[in-house]
Amino acid sequence: MPPPAAGSRSRSGAGETECPAARRLRRLSLHLLQPSPAPGDQAGPALALAACAGRARRVEGGADVAAALAAYLRGRHRAAQMRLFDFFRARPDLQTPVELTTAAHRELCFRQLRALVRDAGVRPLTLMANDPAEYFAVMEAAGGADISLGVKLGVQYSLWGGSVINLGTKKHRDKFFDGIDNLDYPGCFAMTELHHGSNVQALQTSATFDPVTDEFIINTPNDGAIKWWIGNAAVHGKFATVFARLILPLQGKGGEPADMGIHAFIVPIRDLETHAVLPGIEINDCGHKIGLNGVDNGALRFRSVRIPRDNLLNRFGDVSRDGKYTSSLPTINKRFAATLGELVGGRVGIAYCSVGVLKVAVTIAVRYALLRHQFGPPKQPEISVLDYQSHQHKLMPMLASSYAFHFATVQLVDKYSEMKKTNDEDLIADVHVLSSGLKAYITSYTAKSISICREACGGHGYAAVNRFGALRNDHDIFQTFEGDNTVLLQQVAGDLLKQYQEKFKGGTLSVTWNYLRDSMGTYLSQPNPVTARWEGEDHLRDPNFQLDAFRYRTSRLLHSVAARLQKHSKTLGGFGAWNRCLNHLLTLAESHIESVILAKFIESVKSCPDEKTREVLKLVCDLYALDRIWKDIGTYRNVDYVAPNKAKAIHKLTDYLSYQVRLVAQELVDAFDLPDLIIRAPIGMQSEAYAQYTQYVGF
């Protein structure tokens, strides 16, 4: 049932003599009975119940609204995505069925990737090198066909190919680029070990230089150093980029071996012709997983495997023929940071593709909620479940978040593309932290949202054919690979604290954090007791109020956690203090990322050239902002940033905006422009959903 309109409404006539309870009951009846509005009743038209799905599902001009929204959302590489969709639609043999064994899924996934490259003519590594934005668009489209395919493509090109072109030099690109691009050289990215994942600097695999033979000897010193969860390793990979400690004999103190830190090496693991595993290498299968079973994850052990010295990816550090080490970077830590910084594209791709998964889940849930009718007023037709306030509360903020994340990740991709062109140091630092925060925040939100969408679709959401199980299981690992989300959020918090210190030293702030320049003054002053009580709808929907609220919260969190860290460091040391404040730091990072997302959403609304489209986006943006404020209203109340009456007004307005977004929910999901090939769930089809569902089960 939709809530009453937010804000005060003037009344005339009989309404003036009604007590509040009677007025409330009369308005509630309006929602169900849909009478003509009383003379002078300004709320009447807005409060009338929306026509139920299946009879009049679109608002007036809804198709035009959806088309205009789709045009604004559509990226410049949409044509490339559509070509892939058409390609897979014309190839039923490449479409992933609902039920598939692990072995069959792996074989199908490799055939899909091979067909994409060799039949559809896509050259992903070339795209990644020349136009990262188009590469990410292709990855999203491939993931739409099958998330396993998107991940396998990412392993081959973002990780294996990306390590060669970003960590290597011209000799490596000349030798390997074409073979990686055309899939003659399927490869792996062997970083994670059984005992170490996030803590890359603690990896134990070694690469010891032998000056006699001019080779590196790759060795797994113990079981904890076995490379684990390595995509493409179990079945298809022929090469691996192996991350190992570079050891130089006799060059340490007292003639001891010198450990030069983590470096990357190209190691052949299977014969190019026979595909037999090469001597000294042991490969085992990590087995069936919760999801992504089209990707063949394996474990690798190296027993004194010799590779040429030239197989060291030597962009940031090199070893000469006589065993001398050289680097343009003076310390192990700086070399390590530069190495990992070049691999940030993986995080960018995961954040971008996670939004695509969220769009699919939300589209299925919203379309089904419009289709499904349950209960209704006495002797009246049943109503759409999306007309229930509880259902709007589940799905409409999620739909708004999908739009917010869309604009944020498009901006991230653009920044990454610019970074690759310019190699600007400030932009590199900005993209590193922004990609960490967005990847962590968006993938966590998407994982939770898929389960909510499943629940919102009731029993039919539990059918495998309706996708939620596969979406949830395949996407779940997005929270872990390319950086555990908790670890990535700590990187964001650490950078914020660094910027906080720079502020007091008179330094400059990187682009994404520049609002902190004023935060310690404006945002940390005592809240204005007058504005803290303002509750008018115009004020609450003012983007300046919304953004100020988000940034005020971030600045308070930053200031308070800095003080706590300073206090606890005196007794616990730096590591102990960080751990004592860890939850506070994670909240700070999430708050900052929410501020960045909202700022980009507001900017995207203002930039929209079409007035009607801009109005719809403004509505969605307001819901995104106020829903976030309401969910953390305790923080604002604790510091008197929001008075009790204002908190109540925010709650009411959030419910009302959910109802308003519900009225254009179909147009909003249609604007994602996802073809049936990508949606696939019968209950999420644009038309004849029940008919397709019954046909699937055999009627």
Catalytic residues: 482
d(CA 43, CA 5): 7
Please indicate if the annotation marks 331 as binding a ligand.
Answer: no
Q: Which two tokens stand for residue 451?
A: 């389960």
Per-residue CA distances from 319 to 238, 242, 312 (Å): 25, 17, 8
For residue 244, give the 3-state DSSP assignment: strand
Residue identified by tokens 């925040």 is 441
- DSSP-derived letter for residue 193 is B
Q: Is 479 exposed, middle or buried (0-12, 13-18, 19+ CB in 10 A)?
A: buried
Per-residue CA distances from 37 to 18, 33, 47 (Å): 17, 11, 9
The CB-side HSE value for 526 (13 A sphere, CA atoms) comes to 2
Task: Please report, in angstroms and rounded to a whole number, the separation of the first and last CA atoms in the chain.
Answer: 34
The CB-side HSE value for 134 (13 A sphere, CA atoms) comes to 17
Closest CA to 691 of 456, 366, 371: 371
Opening angle at CA 438, ends 476 and 289, nearest 5: 15
Per-residue CA distances from 198 to 218, 332, 513 (Å): 21, 18, 25
Please indicate if the annotation marks 231 as binding a ligand.
Answer: yes
d(CA 39, CA 306): 88
d(CA 473, CA 34): 43
d(CA 83, CA 106): 24
Q: How many CB atoms lie under 10 A from the CB of residue 40? A: 12
What DSSP line would sit under 543-561, residue for residue? HHHHHHHHHHHHHHHHHHH
Helices (H), 581-643: 582-607, 611-631, 633-638
What length does the chain have? Answer: 699
Opening angle at CA 75, ends 73 and 77, nearest 5: 155
Helices (H), 305-388: 332-341, 345-371
Could you tell me which residues come within 8 angstroms of residue 583 by beta carbon, excluding any fewer than 6 positions away?
Answer: none
For residue 679, give the 3-state DSSP assignment: helix
Residue numbering of the annotated binding site for FAD: 192, 231
Residue numbering of the annotated binding site: 192, 231
